Amino acid sequence: MSDRLFIFDTTLRDGEQVPGCQLNTVEKIQVAKMLEQLGVDVIEAGFPISSPGDFNSVIEISKAVTWPTICALTRAVEKDIDVAAESLKYAKHKRIHTGIGTSDSHIRYKFNSTRDEIIERAVSAVRYAKKYVEDVEFYAEDAGRTENEYLARVIEAVIKAGATVVNIPDTTGYCLPSEYGDKIKYLVEHVDGIDKAVISTHCHNDLGMATANTLSGVLNGARQVEVTINGIGERAGNTSLEEIAMILKCHKDIGIDTNINTVKIYPASRMVSSLMNMPVQPNKAVVGRNAFAHSSGIHQDGVLKNVQTYEIMNPKDVGLDDNSIVLTARSGRAALKYRLGVLGVKVTSEEAVDKIYQKFLKLADQKKEVNDDDILMLAGADTAEAHAVKLDYLQVTTGMGVRSVASVGLDISGQKFEESSTGNGPVDAAIKALKRIIRKQMTLKEFTIQAISKGSDDVGKVHMQVEYDGNVYYGFGANTDIVTASVEAYIDCINKFRK
């Protein structure tokens, strides 16, 4: 009989800490429902004390999903735990996730404390959380750099205090797989009462070893993994849910199963990528667009003879239809609606489908083939219609030896404005014209252009970071014309600070 591995998804907490990827409550509920369909056991819904938005999101997610455990993060602080407990009041299954740093650097520099005092604070936090919920998880922050003997003392103490799950984070992504596996093994062998709690992994990808470390932890006794969709998260990200799920599916000999419905992996990946405006790298394992692509002649020959020569996974197992419908200008609404469904986008009315379809036809006239990222961009573009500031028109004159000139027309809450400007290139000229209309002191901090796939007719994505009044705002735009995409991204920033 196979062992059961619990999947703890922190896309909505650790994953959402990525700059520019914040979601509103409605979007978080969408992701939470998708995670429930995916078969995730625990959803870490937020850090309630951190903001009213996070607090409200935990409440609403608790109402929206049924069977997964809803988890709220806290520090080892009573006020944090009080607020977390309040946010979980509607959860059918609830967990408080509390903890404190245990490495010598955290103890000395972060807390100006001692090892014994940290154990006291850890035990006190677990006991306090236990007053509210039966299911309490304790995290030993920076456990990856914590000396094993001391870590074992901490873990033994919190289990005696009532912790049901003990989280051993490699917070900085520093450990080698052998080191991390040995750390889990040490706890299994040296902590009295370790059988009364589930050991959890939480690995970061700073050195590209998050998945390897997580798997090493599982092979040495961990039975919960903390992961995110697409591996998003702080800095270089977290362990990817899809990678762990498919490793265990492909390696049946390991004898460990998850509850993940793997055919939902691809739609979940695309939903998170679209809502967070964070493209999946093409060579990303399992869900990247090249994950099942073969360009080498030798590989193509082998796959045509027998797919198993170069594919260890069936694309259909992760929700990819290897005979997918190719969308062109001749495709109808039904084909578009079907593809939206495959990508995890629920369109509630025929009117909404028609709006997306009209945009689809315009794009299809500009491109030979419309890909999945294009469709997600079109579906997400509807949200821009509710913005106060909208782009009416953009006209640019540029060329070799010619000063770039841009004319911009904006609709601001129903009023029309027009301005022109010259600039050092078409994007600079267009943004200068925009600034003349808005008349706000804004500083462009970051400007990134990314092609979704390849080809001169491809849709380009622009990610922008603008500082205004001491705050930083993130904008996103997508269009076959990169100047238009840049202007849309800048307008997206403006709409966010006008809210």
Annotated binding site for Mn(2+): 14, 202, 204, 238
- Whole-angstrom distance, CA of residue 340 vs CA of residue 370: 12
Task: Using the structure block, give the residue that is written with the tokens 């979601």.
Answer: 23
Residue 344 sits at φ, ψ, to 5 deg, of 85, 15
Cα dihedral 189, 190, 196, 197 sign: negative
Known binding-site residue numbers: 14, 202, 204, 238
Can you read off the two tokens belonging to residue 135?
A: 């299911």
Q: Contact 58/288 with Cβ under 8 angstroms?
A: no
Encoded amino acid at 303, one letter:
V
Q: Contact 98/139 with Cβ under 8 angstroms?
A: yes
- Whole-angstrom distance, CA of residue 287 vs CA of residue 353: 26
Of 397, 421, 387, 394, give the one whose Cα is nearest residue 408: 394
Of 413, 438, 451, give the one whose Cα is nearest residue 430: 438
> Residue 22: CB partners within 8 Å, gap ≥ 6?
16, 474
> Residue 120: CB partners within 8 Å, gap ≥ 6?
none
